[in-house]
Chains A and B, each alone.
Chain A
C-alpha cells in the first residue's frame, strides 16, 4: 500500500514537472515572437510586424483590434470590420483578457474606455495609451422601459448628487487611487441609521472594468457601485450588486431580473430600443491601447508573482470560495442526475422489454434528444435567462438544476445499457421464483447493473465536475471564475490558471480513487 502511494505521488509530481516547463516556454515564446522581427518576415495573421506600429487612430484600419464584447468600443470598431480594409476584431468578455492578448502579440491594439485603459496600463506595463482619443461618450444607468417610476427617482437622485459635488468627488477619488494615493478618505459612505424601508435595489454590473467596477477584497467596488450606493441611500433602499457578463446586463434589466444596470454603459440608439437610460452621470473617452516597445519588461521573481496572485489582498479566497461552489454544484447535480437517469432508464427499459409505458417512453425520448442534442452551456443559459428569466432565483440552484438535468440524460443511457446487458436468464429465474417485476429489478438486476456501469458512471461524473466550469457564464463565481477574477486583477495568466487546473486534477483524481475502491468491493464475488 505504501509503495503504491509513493508511485502515485511520483507520477503526480512528474505530471506537474511536465506541465510547468511547457507552460513557461509558451509564455516566453509568445514574448520573444514579438521582439525578434527579422526584416524579411512576411506579415501573417498571428505574428505581427513592429514596423507596422500604430501611432494614431487612422492606423487602426487593417489591424487586429481587441475590444470588450458588447461595449461601445465593440460597436465602433465593428464598422471597421466591414469596410473592406481587412481589419479584424477580437471580442473578449473581459478587458484584462484583451490586455493579455495584446501583450502576447495576438492583437495590435485595444479600443476601450479611458479610465479602465489607464488602470490596465498602470498595472500591466509594456503597454501605452495613444494620445489621440478615439471617441467621447456618456455613461448612464439603464432601467427597464416600463419602470418610469424608478427612472424618475434615479434621475432626481443623480441631479442632487451632481449639484452637491458627490459625483465628481467619487470619480476623482478612484482616479487618484490609480495614482496609488490610497490615504484619502472615501468621498461617500452610507449615513448611519438608514432603515431601507423601501426594500432592495438590484444592480447588474460586470466587475472587470476598473475603476468603474472591479473586485477588491472579495467585494465589487468602484465608481459605479459607490454612486449606486449613494442613489440607493437616497431612495431608502438597500443596494445589491449582481455580477454578470457585460452583454447580459441589458437582458437582465429588461427582463426584470435586476432593477437597473450600471457598468460604464454608454448611451447608444441601439440600446435605447430595449431599455431606458437615466441622465448621464459621467462623460468619458474611448482610447486606444498599443504595445509600448520602449519600455523594458518588468522583472518579477516567481515568488513575487505567487504573492501577488494569491497572498495579497487575500486573493486565494476567490479560489477557495469558487472551489466550494464547484464541489457543491457537482455533488448535487450528480444526485439529481442519478435520480432522473434512473427513472428515465426504468421507463425506457420497461418499454423495450414489456412494451408498457409508451407515453412516458415518448417523453423520455424527447428529453434525451433535447439534452444530448444541445450544448450544456446553451442549456445553462436558457434555464437561467429564459426559464427563470423573470424569477429571482439563486444562481447555485440554477446551476445545480441545469447540470443535474443535463447529466440525467447521460446517466439514463448508462443505466439502460447496464440493465440491457444483464442476461435475460436472470429475469426469467427471478420471475419463476415468483418475484414481482419491482422485486426483480431491485434485488437482482440493479445490483448487477450497477457494478457493470460503475466505470462509465464515474466517467460521467468526472465530465460533469469539469463541465461546471462554464458556470461563470451565468455570473456564478465557481473555481474557474475564481481564477479568472484573480487573472483580471493581476494580469498574470500563469499562476491562477495552473492553480485552478491543479485543483481540478486533484478533485478528479480523488473521485477516481474512490470509485476504484468501490469497484474492488463490488467485485469481491468474482474470481
Chain B
C-alpha cells in the first residue's frame, strides 16, 4: 500500500513543472510579493490577472530569477533555482520568456535572433539552427522576413519573432509578460492567435495579461493578484462568472 502511494506521489511530482514555496519579494522597503505558494503543472495555461502594481509581473520574473526573490524557494522540474547556481543558464533555456517590449536584438537579423541561442548553447549546429529558424518563422507566418532587421518589422511581427526565438530552445514552459500591451490594437490578434495555437498543442504557459476574453478562452486556470498575494484562483468559467472575493468582483466590474 505504501509503495503505491509513493508512485502516485512521484507521478504527481513529474507533472509539476514549477513549484513556488513561500515566495517573498521586496524592493527596498516595499513588499511586493507576500508568501506566494503555488504549482504549475504540465499542460496548464495559467493566466495572471490583476490591477497594475499588484506584483503579477514581479511574480512572473521571479519564476526564472530575473528578479531575485527576497526569500522562499522556486523549483523547476524538481531542481531548485538559486541565483548562484552554476547550471542556472541551462535551466533557464527550458523556460522561455516573451516580453512586453519584445527585446529582440536590433543588431541581428530576424534569422540570427532565433539561431543565436541554439548555436551558442551548442544544442544545434549552424545548419540545423537555420533549419529550425525557418520552421519556426513559417509557423508564425514570417518566413519571408528572415533576412530583415527587427527595426524593419511592425510591433506585432516583432512579437511573433520573439515567440519564435523563445521556442527555438524547445522550452518546457513559456512565460509571457503582457505580450500584447505594447501593440497597436490591430496587431493584438495575430500575436494572440499564435499563443492560442501553442495552447492547443499542449504547451505549458504562464501569461500575465489584460486581455480578459483571451484569458477566458485560452487559460485552464486564472489567478488574481492583488496587494502582493494570490487573492483568488479558479477555472476561467468560475473565475469570470462566479467570482468570490470582493476585490475580484470590483476588478471585473471595471474591466469587463
Contact = CB atoms under 8 A, between A and B. Distances in A.
Interface in A34-79: none
Interface string A439-481: 1000110011001000000000000000000000000000000
Given A525-B149, A525-B151, A527-B151, A429 B92 contact: no
Nearest to B114: A433
A426 B162 CA distance: 12
A435 interface: yes
B107 interface: yes
Contact of A443 (B90, B103, B120): B120
Contact of A429 (B105, B120, B121): B105
A432 interface: yes
Q: How large, as a class, is the contact surface on chain B?
A: 20 to 34
Given A433-B116, A434-B90, A434-B93, A444 B105 contact: yes
B96 A448 contact: no
B116 A443 contact: yes
Nearest to A522: B107
A447 B116 CA distance: 14
Contacts, number: 70
Given A425-B99, A428-B99, A434 B169 contact: yes
A425 B151 contact: no
A346 B106 CA distance: 22
B212 interface: no
Most chain A CB inside 10 Å of its own CB: which residue of B66, B107, B116, B151 = B107
Contact of A433 (B93, B106, B151): B93
Contacts of A149: none
Contacts of A268: none
A439 B152 CA distance: 25
A415 B165 CA distance: 29
Most chain A CB inside 10 Å of its own CB: which residue of B95, B104, B120, B151 = B120
Nearest to A436: B89
Contacts of B64: 432
A146 interface: no
A90 B121 CA distance: 69
Interface string A489-527: 000000000000000000000000000000000000111
Contacts of A447: 107
A526 B99 contact: no
B107 A439 contact: no
Contacts of A83: none
A423 interface: yes
B117 A433 contact: yes
B97 interface: yes
A426 B116 CA distance: 13
Contacts of B152: 527
Q: How large, as a class, is the contact surface on chain A?
A: 20 to 34
Given A434-B92, A526-B149, A426 B117 contact: no
Contact of B89 (A423, A434, A448): A434
Nearest to A447: B107
Nearest to B91: A434
Contacts of A439: 120
Nearest to A428: B66
A527 to B, nearest CB: 6
Given A525-B151, A526-B149, A435 B103 contact: no
Contacts of B169: 433-434
A432 B96 contact: yes
A431 interface: yes
B82 interface: no
B101 interface: yes
Most chain A CB inside 10 Å of its own CB: which residue of B99, B105, B152 = B105
Most chain B CB inside 10 Å of its own CB: which residue of A423, A425, A429 = A429
A102 to B, nearest CB: 61
Contacts of B92: 431-434
Contacts of A425: 99, 101, 103
Contacts of A451: 107
Contact of A448 (B99, B107, B116, B121): B107
B89 A429 contact: no
B99 A429 contact: yes
Contacts of A429: 97, 99, 103-105, 162
A426 B103 CA distance: 6
Contacts of A448: 105-107
B104 to A, nearest CB: 8
A438 to B, nearest CB: 10
A398 to B, nearest CB: 39
Contacts of B106: 448, 525-526
Contacts of B162: 429
Contacts of B66: 428, 431-432
Interface string B160-192: 001001100100000000000000000000000
Nearest to B100: A425
Most chain B CB inside 10 Å of its own CB: which residue of A431, A433, A448 = A433
A364 B227 CA distance: 43
Contacts of B107: 444, 447-448, 451, 525
Nearest to A426: B103
Contacts of A527: 151-152
Contacts of A436: 89
Contacts of B96: 432-433
A447 B165 CA distance: 19
Most chain A CB inside 10 Å of its own CB: which residue of B89, B90, B96, B149 = B89
Nearest to B89: A434
A444 B95 CA distance: 20
A448 B149 CA distance: 13
A443 to B, nearest CB: 6
Top 10 A-B pairs ranked by shortest CB distance? A434-B93, A429-B103, A525-B149, A433-B117, A425-B103, A432-B97, A447-B107, A434-B89, A434-B92, A448-B107
14 contacts: A423-B101, A428-B97, A432-B166, A433-B165, A434-B89, A434-B92, A434-B93, A439-B120, A444-B107, A451-B107, A525-B106, A525-B109, A526-B149, A526-B151
Given A423-B103, A428-B97, A434-B92, 18 more contacts: A423-B101, A425-B99, A425-B101, A429-B97, A429-B104, A429-B162, A430-B105, A432-B66, A432-B95, A433-B117, A433-B166, A433-B169, A434-B89, A439-B120, A444-B105, A444-B107, A448-B107, A525-B149
Interface of A: 423, 425-426, 428-436, 439, 443-444, 447-448, 451, 525-527
